Structure 1
């Protein structure tokens, strides 16, 4: 699907509003792999939120991103990385495979029937799979329930995936051995503008007609106002590691 995704139209906002990842993820990947890998390939790299962490590993980077607009932001941020504008299903891995194949918040966009097998075949023998992503919870549970209700009132079809679903996915397909999971948690306070900008970069939000989006933002704006102008995220970040 190179050339366009729902996120391309909001690439700049996405880069500014999406929270980054704990730097400890890089250390966990290196420790699991047994040292710095020969290369790191990132699938669905977007504007580079996950790339920020992967760059800390210190290995040559290949970033694969299907949306040309997102890839342009990514390339500007990481001029030393190789950026391939392609979908994972069309991408050709480097000869010999990547030492680490990573994916941040994009595993669900890959073909469920083939993503695990493709990931294993894209790795060098004994290479490391590293999938990580956020789960957006709320420090104030009542506020979180109200936010979820407001979004469902606009689009009743919106449903969250189970917590750590990609860990279960990797285990179920049995393409990788020594599969491990690590959890990182932190509280992240967001002001009104930052929180509304974050919500406006979510895939289900972007897929709705403009009037529904306006209704959702208006409802959320009222809730943030009632909360004193700040929403505190309970940000849960899961890292899944496996050996190919």
Structure 2
């Protein structure tokens, strides 16, 4: 997603994103801002996952500050988070989430199993084949794996100035060459690749692809709070970030100080087969 470049699985020409640990672990730079600015997930998505799971025990892979986890807790689930960033995990724990510190690949479940394994905006930081196989081992029979994330598409009047100033300010960034906007269908290919790795385990029913379209209005300040929490900006120098935010702020001002964001939340989900 060019304006919020944090879903590298949609860019097959780059190296596997799960190896980009410095970027993966940069989101905790300002965990409070991340938690405050990042959007939650559609209630219909949470409801559908919970309704299709055999019980309330949820493992949240790469739980971050617990944005998705709190939604599942509110839906009656018991959630355990796994998170490698101490800053993000600390904030999640302060909000009442149980968190164990590790990458998903290195995390030791100590014999525990779960009814649901979720990954909210985090699966691209997990080795896809190893992650799918581990999820299969952790799920109880008929348990559900649900991998989901947002596609952000601001209007062209905001996206194009962002892309232009980003290229000027951070020309060496791997995100600098992205186009200003891409349709949601571009990102579906990434979720289809996730489905392929899930199929490859031989331990799930046929994966399903879900899509949820929704909108949210952003003021200038709300948008400028969200941008620094995204993967293309978390590792920029303060002066680079300030230049980008100045240009984007002017673009939002030209729209009257607010705009409507069109979100698409995509999910790949599959049910663990009944046998062990």
TM-score normalised by length of structure 2: 0.78
Residue 248 (structure 2) pairs with residue 224 (structure 1): no
Give unpaired runs (5+ residues) of structure 1: none
Between 151-160 and 52-61, report the one with greater CA deviation. Answer: 151-160
Between 88-97 and 185-194, report the one with greater CA deviation. Answer: 88-97
Residue 128 (structure 2) pairs with residue 117 (structure 1): no
Q: Is the 8 A contact 1:101 1:123 kept in 2?
A: yes
1:68 to 62, 86, 103: 86
1:41 to 40, 56, 59: 59
1:172 is aligned to: 196
Which deviations, in whole Å up to 9, do the C-alpha atoms of 1:37-84 show, x marking residues without a partner?
A: 141000111111111222134232111111111111111112xx4211
Deviation, 1:94, is 5.2
CA distance in 2, matches of 1:20, 1:181: 20
Cα RMSD after superposing both structures: 2.2
DSSP 3-state at the match of 1:13: helix
1:86 is aligned to: 102
TM-score normalised by length of structure 1: 0.88
DSSP 3-state at the match of 2:72: helix
Residue 149 (structure 2) pairs with residue 133 (structure 1): yes
Residue 253 (structure 2) pairs with residue 237 (structure 1): no
1:144 is aligned to: 159
1:59 is aligned to: 77
Residue 193 (structure 2) pairs with residue 198 (structure 1): no
CA distance in 2, matches of 1:180, 1:56: 25
Which deviations, in whole Å up to 9, do the C-alpha atoms of 1:124-156 show, x marking residues without a partner?
A: 233210111111112x34433333333333335
Which deviations, in whole Å up to 9, do the C-alpha atoms of 1:176-206 show, x marking residues without a partner?
A: 3231122112211111111011010001111
1:11 is aligned to: 31
Between 159-168 and 24-33, report the one with greater CA deviation. Answer: 159-168
Between 49-58 and 189-198, report the one with greater CA deviation. Answer: 49-58
DSSP 3-state at the match of 2:206: strand
CA distance in 1, matches of 2:101, 2:133: 21
